[in-house]
A and B are shown apart, each in its own frame.
Chain A
Amino acid sequence: MQRSLHMEPSLCTGCLQCEMACSFEHEGEFIPARSRIRVFEFEHGRTSVPYTCTQCVEAWCMKACPTNAISIDSDLGAKLVSAQACVGCKACVSACPFGTIEFNPFSGKVDKCDLCGGDPQCVAACPTDAITYVDAGASGVGRMASAAQQINQETAS
């Protein structure tokens, strides 16, 4: 089963544990500026929204890369950047409509979410289950269930 990261902003408190877990996993230190997942706040913190690469099937980054540095992990569905092949040209950065692949000025390569080899550390670190790693074919089920419950209540009343 292919899984994908599922974000539920209504559960996010904006604690940024995901950013620290991600950066620690990939950089060996707590460096949120290099986290592949980021949390954005709106209206004085009324909402906090985590966001990262959604692993597009027909990925803009992959198609834009002139050195074929981006490949698909067929098990996970993740798009992975080969550090050997990446020349830091940033074509992928321009191509990605979501901004979720980013140039790293320290390494001269690009960084993106790689799903931590199937054990995403942001998910493990999230204290409120605002980020979960779920069946990619059923990530909307939770919200459908909530909507259905509402209809159920209206029907019952």
Chain B
Amino acid sequence: MSWQGKILRVNLTTHEITPEALNMEWAKDYIGERGLGTKYLWENMDPKADAMAPDNVLIFATGPLTGTNASTSGRYAVITKSPLTGAIACSNSGGKFGAELKYAGFDLLLVEGRSENPVYLLIEGDEISLAPAEKIWGKTVWETDEWIKKQHHNPMLKIATIGIAGERGARYASVVNDLHRAAGRSGVGTVMGSKNLKAVAVRGTGGVRVKDPKRFMTVTQEMKNLLAEHTGGLTKYGTNAMMDTMQEFGGLPTRNFQEVQFEGADKVDAKAMMKTDDTGHTNLLTNKACFGCTIACGRIAHIRQDHFTIQNRKEYWHASGGLEYETAFAFGPVIGVDDIDACTFAGYLMNEHGIDPISFGVTLAAAMELFEMGVITTEDTDGVPLNFGNAEALTVMAEKTGKQEGFGVMLGLGSRLMCEKYGHPELSMTVKGQEFAGYDSRALQGMGLGYATGNRGACHLKHDTFEVDMDDQTGDGKADPCKTSQDWTAAVDSSGLCMFTMGAWGAPEFAAQLDADSEGDWTAERLMESGERIWNLERMFNLAAGLTKADDTLPERLLKDPAPSGTAKGKVNELDKMLPEYYDLRGWSEDGVPTDDTLGRLGLG
């Protein structure tokens, strides 16, 4: 079977490093990655602990399929308590780091305590140590990656690290692996920084064996063929093909969600990335795969060398990770910017300094609205006029936030705290303190319900009501697809594979791969049930942490201000109609608490 059967417990307070046996019973109940990490978190910390305190626990978890040749098998997740939301955080990433951890012999890393001095964890075959990180504390993600490889004369190391933002406590710092893939959301990098853990560097020279190799090879090949039939658009255009769909539909949050369509969308969309301009420059260079991925939706781009952002900064005259839909939304429509080079540069800065682009962009959008209202002035913003549409403000503030300098410290608090500080909490486009992704809840009703009930706050990746939302723009019948897709996505996120396969593979396709891979008698039904168990355990963590029904809501702007244009013109989100139906379907009380029957049914009692 594909589990290594081993986890690594790292106590940063005592510097003790202890391999432990993987709890296989938990793996059978929680699949792996997101689910298994949640179970380990639940069993190893008090949800009431301060997210920045040593007793928060930080988990890096692989899935059963991570490191196999199933397509998209490079995923790992970082699970902890979020300093942005006070709720559970679960951010997953691709690249090569996750598979490397598995090849190094560990299914999961559990980090607890806080080191007195900055350290990084080095796993090089069977040599495992905590090494001093003073020389890289204060260095960027890219400098850290290079330094560690040189220090150990090992270019094959795969490195997950925080940048300066995570060291200095920006609340939505990410963990970046392989230079430009990130466990981006909810401040998982902030927790890493609070523990004085700069990086995890891994070289794995071992292998992964599956339960039934012959069956596994056959089924994964069939699944790759099926995937190829469905994902051509993702390969060619990347996720930013969504920009045009949302623009046309009127679901593209613009200027801090005051509008739902952006006049400059065609300047930052997937086609704009592929267009050769009059100087012969094309933003997009090539597409790029994460480990094991036969889709390759990743974008590698470069910035015009004569662009104002980098014309005097040769160090950025290289290719790197390009715009995805969410970064294009967060640096484009939501702040009214239509400069593709500035957006691309902001993306570089997010990866270089380790920041979540969605939270940054949507926080900047709120700051811009505050600026245009006159609540803040250039005296607050280091002399930078924060008008909507100001591309220079985007890149200057991205860098300041990354380095936690000047007004960047304020932006690093996230939109909820910043807006409260300036006396305008209604301008914060967040749920549970986490900023929205690029889908407007007035045009996409089920998306709004998914945002409101999201266990990590506003998030577009933990449910999938997209098709039913496009078909019908009322709140009717959205609770069921929202709940079902939340459970299903929890299962997918726990498998070690990427959710971008979901357009081609349903539960039977996942179950077929998983059952040939590892123990557990995996069927579609067992996967769905496990997904529901995972969702409910996340909910229990949040309730124990002190969150309540009152946190399952949307900002007033989406509940009271009608969409000004598009297909949903005149509509608001119908959360009050959907939420009671959703609680009922979940088997939760009117207060959003799982009933004893529900917990018993899921083995959580």
- A positions within 8 Å CB-CB of B: 10, 13-17, 20-21, 23-24, 27-34, 43-48, 125, 127-128
Contacts and interface: CB of A to CB of B under 8 A. Distances in A.
B249 to A, nearest CB: 30
A24 to B, nearest CB: 7
Given A31-B207, A44-B319, A127-B228, A16 B288 contact: no
Most B-side CB within 10 Å, residue of A15, A21, A125 = A15
B294 A28 contact: no
Contacts of A128: 296
Nearest to B296: A13
Contacts of A27: 207
Given A32-B103, A33-B204, A17 B213 contact: no
A20 B318 contact: no
Contacts of B291: 15-16
Most A-side CB within 10 Å, residue of B96, B213, B289, B321 = B289
A46 B292 contact: no
A14 B291 CA distance: 7
B287 A13 contact: yes
Contacts of A30: 67-69, 207-210
Contacts of A43: 318-319
B206 A33 contact: yes
A127 B294 contact: yes
B534 to A, nearest CB: 26
Contacts of B219: none
B293 interface: yes
A17 B292 contact: yes
20 contacts: A13-B296, A14-B288, A14-B289, A16-B96, A17-B292, A20-B68, A20-B69, A23-B207, A28-B209, A29-B208, A30-B67, A30-B209, A30-B210, A31-B207, A33-B205, A43-B319, A44-B320, A45-B300, A125-B69, A127-B228
Contacts of B207: 23, 27, 29-31, 33-34
Nearest to A31: B207
A125 to B, nearest CB: 7
A45 B288 contact: yes
Chain B binding surface, main DSSP class:
loop
A44 B287 contact: no
B296 A15 contact: yes
B274 interface: no
Nearest to B298: A45
Contacts of B293: 13, 15
Most A-side CB within 10 Å, residue of B208, B228, B318 = B208
A13 to B, nearest CB: 4
B432 interface: no
B545 interface: no
Interface string B206-232: 111110010001000000100010000
Interface residues of B, number: 37
B154 interface: no
B286 A24 contact: no
Given A10-B286, A17-B294, A45-B320, 16 more contacts: A13-B287, A13-B293, A15-B289, A15-B294, A17-B69, A21-B69, A24-B69, A24-B217, A30-B210, A33-B205, A43-B319, A44-B300, A45-B321, A46-B300, A48-B288, A125-B69
Contacts of B290: 15
Nearest to B318: A43
Interface string B53-70: 000000000000001110
B285 interface: yes
Name the 3 nearest CB pairs between A and B, nearest first.
Answer: A31-B207, A29-B207, A15-B289
Contacts of B208: 29-31
B354 to A, nearest CB: 15
B285 A46 contact: yes
Contacts of A15: 289-294, 296
A7 to B, nearest CB: 16
B88 interface: no
B180 A44 contact: yes
A33 B102 CA distance: 12
A13 B69 CA distance: 15
Contacts of B67: 30
A18 B453 CA distance: 41
Contacts of A34: 205, 207
A47 B320 CA distance: 11
A44 B206 contact: no
A1 B290 CA distance: 36
A16 B290 CA distance: 9
A127 B291 CA distance: 13
Contact of B213 (A16, A28, A46, A47): A28
A16 B321 CA distance: 18
Contacts of B318: 43-44, 46
Contacts of B319: 43-46
B103 A31 contact: yes
B103 A33 contact: yes
A43 B320 CA distance: 7
A46 B286 contact: yes
B203 to A, nearest CB: 8
Nearest to A48: B288
A106 B205 CA distance: 11
A33 B104 CA distance: 10
Nearest to A33: B205
Contacts of B204: 33
Contacts of A48: 288
A15 B295 CA distance: 9
B605 to A, nearest CB: 38
Nearest to A23: B207
Interface in B297-345: 298, 300, 302, 318-321
B179 interface: yes
Contacts of A13: 286-289, 293, 296
A32 B66 CA distance: 13
B369 to A, nearest CB: 34
Interface string B95-130: 010010001000000000000000000000000000
Contacts of A44: 179-180, 300, 318-321
Nearest to B293: A15
Interface in B194-208: 204-208
Nearest to B156: A33
Most B-side CB within 10 Å, residue of A24, A125, A128 = A24
A29 B2 CA distance: 10
B348 to A, nearest CB: 9
A31 B179 contact: no
